Amino acid sequence: HETLIQSETRGAVRLLRLNRPDALNAMTVPLLVQLRQALELAAQDATVRCVLLTGAGRAFSAGQDLADPHVAPTRAPGAAPKDIGHMLDQYYIPLVLRMRSLPVPVVAAVNGVAAGAGANLALGADVVVAAESASFVQAFARIGLIPDCGGTWLLPRLVGRAKALELALLGDKLRAAEALAMGLIARVVPDVELPDAAMAIAQRLAGMPTRALVETRRAMDDALKLDFEAALRREATLQSQLGFAHDYLEGTAAFLDKRPPTFKDR
């Protein structure tokens, strides 16, 4: 079948590239299925310590393929409307949950426009790096939908209610520099530098204590629904577990011995 997700391994980094460049990497059912499978393979491969997600061609992803017969409203008179919630339940939600719970950190290298589900998939990564010419579009309201793939959860947390609603309601194209300025993404680099810069971040993360990184993501997400004291106690529980793990012993020993650490927990 068609390779809609290109997968490459460089050291401990698994690079996954959305690969429908002629359609701006718009998401179809086969693409969503292949991406989920690729994430599952990365999750199960103990040699993978970071996933780097990017797009082929000039876009990261234009979001749901609006011409896909699975979701496109049938214009023929009398045709039954399609339940796009079913599409979310079947394909998008498992994909996004798989990414957000991956046992390794996820870096998104946003190489061009990221619209709709494509934008929110990228924004759900742990570290989002964008090319200067990249942009983010909450395209949903323009076609009569609400932000999905976690947009309603992510946007207000990342940029606050005022900016989140402005982005979601107007659906304007947000340039990478503005996205950075409002705290939506972590870093912007010149276009030609994006592949190497994102790979360098991914390689650094891959050399770090994976389990601690993943617990950091989880603790931060969990803390959003806890009060301050509960967050303190949850930190203590997780810290207690990490304190018994190999990487803490190795990290402290390497520090005291003034040598580079070799982490292996995952």
What residues make contact with ligand T3D under the rule CB under 6 A?
A: 23-24, 26, 62-67, 71, 84, 87-88, 113, 115-117, 137, 139-140, 143, 145, 148
Question: What whole-number distance in Å separates Cα of residue 114 and Cα of residue 59?
Answer: 7
Query: CB of 111: closest distance to ligand T3D in angstroms?
Result: 13
Nearer to ligand T3D, 86 or 233 (CB): 86
Strands (E), the chain: 5-10, 13-18, 50-55, 59-61, 106-110, 113-115, 127-131, 135-137, 173-175, 187-189
Residue 144's alpha-carbon distances to 68, 104, 203, in angstroms, are: 17, 35, 40
* Contact assessment for residue 48 and residue 59, using Cβ atoms and an 8 Å cutoff: no
Cβ 26 to ligand T3D, closest distance in Å?
A: 4
Q: Tell me if residue 52 falls in helix, strand or coil.
A: strand
Give Dmax over CA atoms of the chain in angstroms.
Answer: 75
Quick one: 140 or 248, whose CB is closer to ligand T3D?
A: 140
Contact at 8 Å (CB) between 30 and 65? no
Which amino acid, residue 80? A
Smallest distance from the beta carbon of 3 to ligand T3D, in angstroms?
Answer: 19
Question: Closer to ligand T3D at the Cβ: 26 or 42?
Answer: 26
Q: Which is nearer to ligand T3D, 82 or 187 (CB)?
A: 82
Measured from the CB of residue 140, what is the shortest distance to ligand T3D in angstroms?
5
Q: Which amino acid is at 66?
A: L
> Taking Cα atoms as reference points, which of 98, 107, 129, 257 lies closest to residue 193?
129
Minimum distance, C-beta of residue 129 to ligand T3D, in the bound complex (Å): 19
The distance of closest approach from Cβ of residue 169 to ligand T3D in the complex, given in angstroms and rounded to an integer, is 14
Q: Minimum Å distance from CB 215 to ligand T3D?
A: 30
| Residue count of the chain | 266
Nearest Cα to Cα of residue 92 among 82, 80, 100: 100
Residue 51 is inside which H or E element, if any? strand 50-55
* Nearer of residues 116 and 251 to ligand T3D, judged by Cβ: 116
Which C-beta is closer to ligand T3D: that of 24 or that of 167? 24
Dihedrals phi, psi of 27, to nearest 5 degrees: -90, 125
Residue of minimal Cβ distance to ligand T3D: 116
Give whichever of 80 and 224 is closer to ligand T3D, judged by the CB atom: 80
